[in-house]
Amino acid sequence: MQKVKINDDVIVLTGKEKGKNGKIIKINRKSGKVLVEGLNMVQKTKKSTQENPDGGFVKKESFLDISNVALVSPKTNKATRVRIETRDDKKVRVAVACGSLLD
């Protein structure tokens, strides 16, 4: 069981986006990176094609390191760590700060 999943609300702990919230769009477990909606925006150049003859610039999200984000506790709306517990013979994610279930 993973501590962070897609569509989890997270808060950025370090870097230029520190303190901002967003939802996880994509997770790359091999490199330990996450893509957070609306955060860490970068500007990419786009070539002109038949569909888009002008080309130009496109703003899109860039990956953040998974260690630089923390889950947002549903009760306190603050950053929390995650503990995995076994309840009724099932593994569940629990917020360490408030003890609430995350699933």
Confidence band (pLDDT; 50, 70, 90) for 10? Answer: very high
pLDDT of amino acid 1: 66
41: tokens are 């925006």
Tell me if 23 sits within 8 A of 48, measured CB to CB: no
Residue 103 has pLDDT above 80, yes or no: no
User: In the chain, what are the domain boundaries?
Assistant: 9-46+57-95
> What would the pLDDT profile of 47-93 be if each residue is shown by its tens digit?
888 877 888 888 999 999 999 999 999 898 899 999 999 999 999 99
Q: Which of 32, 3, 7 is nearest to 91 (CA)?
A: 3
Beta strands in the chain (DSSP E): 9-12, 21-28, 33-36, 41-46, 56-61, 64-65, 69-72, 79-80, 82-87, 90-95
Q: Taking all residues of the chain, what is their mean pLDDT, rounded to a whole number?
A: 91
Instruction: Select from 2.30.30.30, 3.40.50.720, 1.50.10.10, 3.40.1710.10 the CATH code of 9-46+57-95.
Output: 2.30.30.30
Q: Which residue has the higher pLDDT, 49 or 18?
A: 18
